Structure 1
Amino acid sequence: MDVVELLSELVKFDTTNDPTRGIKPPKECPKFILDTLNSWGIDAQLIEKDGYYAVYGEIGEGNPKILFMAHFDVVPVNRDEWETEPFELTIKGNRAYGRGSADDKGNVASIMLALKELSKMNLKEKVLFAFTGDEEIGGALAMHIAEKLKNENNLPEYMANADGIGMKPIIRRRKGFGVTISIPSEKVKLRGTVKERKFRVSTPILETRHAAYFLPGVDTHPMIALSHFLRNSNVLAVSLEGKFIKGNVVPSEVTLKYLEPGEGDEVEVDIGLTRLLKTIVPLVRAPIKAEKYSDCGVSITPNLYSFSEGKHVLRLDIRAMSYSSEDIERTLEEVIAFNIPEAELAVKSNEKAGYLFTHPEDEIVKAMLETLEKFGEKAEPVEGPGAADSRFFTPYGVKAIDFGPRGGNIHGPNEYVELDSLKLLPEVYKEVALRLIGG
């Protein structure tokens, strides 16, 4: 079985992770990973935590040298936007389309095949591996594994977190923070004309829906555009609907129903909703200060809206090179106090998680660059936009990189992986392990 065949089998499993709809990745996919590894003579165990699964194991002898990690859960799909069946690998030229092909089942398949070859060798030090099923909702399993290894004095020296893109070692990645802002509905009746306006996402350079890849000034976020429209008109919101998927997924489209005051029918408008939506612009421009430099700076995107128990609820995704949420909360409180003082604010982050910030001269970076050069790939260490599970290991001193194949449309429709890069990955991961172990 080659990497494309193995990826095809993995994509068939619908491992959608969508807690807002009570959907968890089923046990079948990690069981398939476990059984496949076992059939190759590789011992592994199934870990369960709160209904989510991971596969963990070790090969080799001696001290733990490197951990390979990847995740098999995927974000929800909007089938209306897909040109192919998302849970069936479809090959067109050098591209293989399917949910998870790039994020992150291509990496799962590649590591599995690398382990198959490494397991046949007399390794002087241990290679650890983990495949997790909750990365897309925060990575509690990765945190659990990191803590377990720390308590057992079994932490690896290095980590290759196979959750990157572009065939370049990612040495910096920001931490993610979740923000919830809620405001009571306040309905009044006014006369005027009811109209509707749709606002659509635009990503003209890099096609993606991943919030961490959103670049202000290049991309158009429908919720930010909607807010700008409200702030520059005298209309009032009646209701809001949209293709909301997940906290770190930019909605492809939102529809605002609004009232243009004047002569006409009496219509119920919502002052609370209007004020909340108008506040999006100052929220996404909040002057949040990070602890370390980032090419991507601080990004703030409003990706989820809902109405519950008489309150409008807006959820923001924030990415910053910061460990603590204190400065973020303090800055957002100033924005809310000025614009919507009656609103409630909650900032969530995992205080046990850090960010990725590895020196470009570190051994794992050099091992990856030398390996890539061996296979004809020219690369420099880069910063990646999104957060990843390596952030649970870096606070313990593990030197980490994130890595993955070339591909596109991460978290978006028609996600794909480029086959020429995918086919190299099993050998790349094997070579990196051998260079670090000295085999």
Structure 2
Amino acid sequence: MEVLELLSELVSFETVNDPARGIKPSKDCPRFIMDRLSEWGIESRLLERDGYYAVYGEIGEGKPRLLFMAHFDVVPVNPAEWETDPFRLTVEGNRAYGRGSADDKGNVASIMLALRELSRERLNGKVLFAFTGDEEIGGRMAMHIAEKLSKEGKLPEYMINADGIGMVPIIRRRKGFGVMLRIPSERVRVKGRLREKTFRISTPVVETRHAAYFLPGVDTHPMIAASHFLRSRNALAVSLEGSFLKGNVVPGEVRLKYIEPGEGGDVEVDLGLTRLLKAIVPLVRAPIKTERYSDYGVSITPNLYTLEGGEHVLRIDVRAMSRSKEDIERAMREVVEFNLPGAELTVMTNEKAGYLFTQPGERIVRVMLEVLEGEGERAEPIEGPGAADSRFFTPYGVRAIDFGPRGGNIHGPNEYVEVDSLEKMPRIYKGVALRLLGG
């Protein structure tokens, strides 16, 4: 199967994005994409900003009608949690395992093959395409492309952001915010017995580590569990370790060393860490105001903890149908002032990004559903949990959907794409493009 062969080549590039460890994708993968497209007679160019790359190109003539976008960067891996080599596509039955197989190299491969077929058609307008290398850390390349197209008067009518999953058109997605808390370490000696407890993630329905997919009431977050544990007893934290990967990746486990004061030896505890961990429960329930309805409401997950120069640093991922950094900060600060007086609070977001909110009656949605039905896929438009690069284009009035094949374990171990759905993807993308450009 051609799309599977192309995906196998893409997965072999270790395009991990991990700024905390100074790791970013090299030029190798985007150059491979450009070279393969060139072999098919499709010209493209390499864009670069701050050491991150994107491939951009156009096919057809006339007015820009449709933009395809997907990303080739991936989140970090913990190889110990994988049953296969994460950078070698492994097919077992109907599943193809590998980092990026579902998020998002399966889509990259599918769009590339769709572009090859579209380049042989007589198109009524231009089809634009972009493959970016920094979606997993905020998508500034997508923002740059949106700004560039706007200045040049080349914004398309429609966008298919191929960064979805499930073979369903995603018409709503929340905006992401990053919250960082800093509090000084405060070490004192207390009598008691040193103990240790491990808290592990549990996702019994949808196996994933992606913070946006975490569903309170169903899933168990190790950091929230550790916070509830400390709050439920007279315990003081000594240290915290865990499998921390990224701000929007839920850690697989955390290991808390603590004491319950009483008889025993002198143990050095950290009052600063204790207060920080105990504050997590109220922090994840901060009363954040939103602008629009969301199936998922507001998600607040504490995913990354570090000890930096005598300060405890906690990074929290926030997802909300809101563009207001001020609303997020106001709600979080109220909780911090009550539970962590003196802590430093910083809220980060891309002010130029919005959220995806496309009405189900839009032509691009109807066309996608028609094409899917022709492929034997019955679907209804849905809201997706995570944010995506379409949020940089919707503020300009571009009508967008996110889409992708069926798969699972996004951002987690043993990520996979379902082979039978992947096989249909190039035909689906080609079919939607031809129908949208037909009138």
Please tell me the TM-score bracket, short chain as reference.
over 0.9
Q: How does 1:180-329 map to 2 (within 5 A)?
A: 180-329=180-329
TM alignment of 1:32-431, pairs within 5 A: 32-431=32-431
Read off the aligned partner of 1:46 and give its amino acid letter.
Answer: L
Q: Does 1:30 align with 2:17?
A: no
Residue 264 of structure 1, CA deviation: 1.1
Q: In structure 2, what is the Cα distance between the partners aligned to 1:387 and 1:124?
A: 31
Distance in structure 2 (CA, Å) of the matches to 1:76 and 1:111: 24
Distance 1:95 1:339 in 2: 46
CA distance in 2, matches of 1:3, 1:207: 25
CA deviation digits over 1:56-82, x for unaligned, max 9?
000001100000000000000010100
- Cα distance in 1, alignment partners of residues 339 and 121 from structure 2: 63
Residues 13-64 of structure 1: per-residue CA shift (max 9 Å, x gap): 0000000000001110000000000010001000011111100000001100
Displacement of 1:259 = 1.2
Q: Deviations over 1:374-395 (max 9, x none)?
A: 1110000000000000000000
Per-residue CA shift, 1:238-269, capped at 9, x if unaligned?
Answer: 00000000000000000000012111111110
1:103-146 CA distance string (max 9 Å, x none): 00000000000000000111120000000000000000000000
Aligned to 1:281, the other structure's residue is in SS state: helix
Partner residue, 1:12: 12
TM-score, scaled to structure 2: 0.99
Q: Secondary structure at the match of 2:103?
A: coil
Q: Which runs of 5+ in 2 are unaligned?
A: none
How far apart are 1:342 and its partner, in Å? 1.0
Q: CA deviation at 1:415?
A: 0.2
In 2, Cα distance between equivalents of 1:340 and 1:3:
52
Secondary structure at 1:372 match in 2: helix
Letter of the structure 1 residue corresponding to residue 280 of structure 2: I
C-alpha displacement at 1:324, in angstroms?
1.3
Residue type of the alignment partner of 1:73: D
SS in 2 for 1:102: helix
The residue identity in structure 2 corresponding to 1:127 is V
Matches of 1:156 and 1:269 in 2, distance apart? 58
Alignment length, in residue pairs? Answer: 439
Q: For 2:199, what is the secondary structure of its paired residue?
A: strand
Query: How many Å separate the matches in 2 of 1:107 and 1:340?
Result: 43
- Whole-Å Cα distance in 1 between the matches of residues 296 and 202 of structure 2? 19
- Cα distance in 2, alignment partners of residues 263 and 385 from structure 1: 48
Alpha-carbon distance, 1:337 to partner: 0.7
State the identity as a percent.
Answer: 75
SS at match of 1:248: coil
Which amino acid is the alignment partner of residue 9 of structure 2? E
**1:80 maps to amino acid:** A
Match of 1:438 in 2: 438
Tell me how far apart the structure 1 counterparts of residues 298 and 264 of structure 2 sit (CA, whole Å).
44
Backbone CA RMSD of aligned residues: 0.7
Runs of 4+ in 1 over 2 A off after TM superposition: none
Residue identity in the other structure for 1:403: F
The SS at the match of 2:276 is helix
For 1:123 and 1:256, locate their aligned partners in 2 and report how far apart those are by CA, in whole Å.
60
